[in-house]
Amino acid sequence: MNKRYLIGGIIALACVVIGIFSLSSSSIEYANLGKAEQLGKTVQVVGHWVKEEGSKYNSATNEFTFVMRDENNAVIPVVLHGPKPNNFEIAESIVVKGRVENGRFVATDCLTKCPSKYEGNAGDLKRGT
């Protein structure tokens, strides 16, 4: 009977340890570009596409490049390994996940926040429409 409890305890402990490691590795903190450069690890940065700089997709390397500005007006070129995100041109803001390498943000993921078609404007609310 004691062996069963011991084996069960070891299995339970192993599950707890695996759970802790998987949760800690999935929590990626938000940072601005300055902090992202200091940390040198994978972070998420909220910003806006600098439209004047344009954007480009290279099908040979499967890389989408653009320039973004964060909330502190810091600007950095972004290289996203993958295609251009949906609704990129109309996005109000973008969130890139990756790390700063050699003066550019190398992103593994890019999320776009687009204007909601369900949000009315303030004039509509005042008029009662």
Domain ranges for the chain, please list them: 29-113
Mean pLDDT score of the chain: 82
Q: What is the pLDDT of residue 100?
A: 93
Q: Are 127 and 117 in contact (CB under 8 A)?
A: no
What percent of the chain lies above the pLDDT cut of 70?
A: 79
Residue 124: which residues within 8 A CB-CB, separation 6 or more? none
- Amino acid in the structure at residue 95: V
Q: What does CATH list as the number for 29-113?
A: 2.40.50.140
Distance in Å from the first CA to the final CA of the chain: 72
Work out the pLDDT band at 1, boundaries 50, 70, 90.
Answer: low
Q: What is the pLDDT of residue 120?
A: 56
81, exposed or middle or buried, with CB in 10 Å at 0-12, 13-18, 19+? middle
Question: What's the pTM value of the predicted model, to 2 decimals?
Answer: 0.68
